[in-house]
Amino acid sequence: MTEDLMEGVALSAPEEQKCCCSQGENQAASQTADQMEGDAPSAPAAGDQTQSQAARCGQKGTWQPKVVAFLCNWCSYAGADLAGISRIQYPPNIRIIRVPCSGRINPVFILKALQAGADGVLISGCHPGDCHYVSGNYYARRKFEVFDRLLDYIGLEPGRVFFSWVSAAEGENFGRLIKHVVDEVEKLGPASKLVKTLF
């Protein structure tokens, strides 16, 4: 009796569901057959480009900046944590990367973030003199002073890369800083320089 029920279920399944997988296999087989015959592969649809542009937009269809933040574990990340615990509102456009010390941030990290499509980058650490590694933020300050000149030399707009100091007790300052960074990046619009694209 159960076999009869199973046969009834199998027979009542719509044909569209049965051939769904086979359609995909047939399409893949026909594409490989075309390529083997020497036909040029079909050009990507015009909608693909608009989809990639739409991926950078928010739900309302407006562009939303993407900001990558490199935060020191001991102060700035703790300040971000305090802002969250205190329910301080700030834009959700930021993606945080926690590092042991601001002195540990290689300038190549910043270039890679911009190359990968970030519209802005924020580097934040302990206030000078408060570093858990004694002099890490002094090294960071000197390093980024030179790096800022390099960014100016290669033609990156001022306002794409920010350097700041936020302590663990400054959750409110962290919220204000993020609002400021996002506002400045929004004024500049989507990043185009240094962005690595395939086409």
pLDDT at 192: 86
pLDDT at 45: 47
Is the pTM higher than 0.75? The answer reads: no
Q: Is residue 36 part of a domain?
A: no
Burial class (CB in 10 A: 0-12, 13-18, 19+), 115: middle
Q: Is residue 18 part of a domain?
A: no
Q: Are 124 and 140 in contact (CB under 8 A)?
A: no
**Domain range for 97:** 63-188
Q: Is residue 197 part of a domain?
A: no
pLDDT at 9 over 80: no
pLDDT digits (tens, 9 = 90+) for 108-155: 999 999 999 999 999 999 999 899 999 999 999 999 999 999 999 988
Instruction: Report how far residue 100's alpha carbon sits from residue 136's, in angstroms, rounded to the nearest whole number.
Output: 10
Q: Is residue 31 part of a domain?
A: no
Dihedral over alpha carbons 128, 130, 135, 138 (to 10 degrees): -10
Q: Is residue 144 part of a domain?
A: yes
Q: Is residue 37 part of a domain?
A: no
CATH number of the domain within which 115 lies: 3.40.50
Helix H or strand E encompassing 18? helix 15-18
Instruction: Report how far residue 38's alpha carbon sits from residue 47's, in angstroms, rounded to the nearest whole number.
Output: 26
The pLDDT-based confidence of 25 (bands split at 50, 70, 90) is very low
Number of domains composing the chain? 1
pLDDT at 68: 97
pLDDT digits (tens, 9 = 90+) for 76-98: 999 999 999 999 999 999 999 99
Q: Is residue 126 part of a domain?
A: yes
Q: Is residue 168 part of a domain?
A: yes
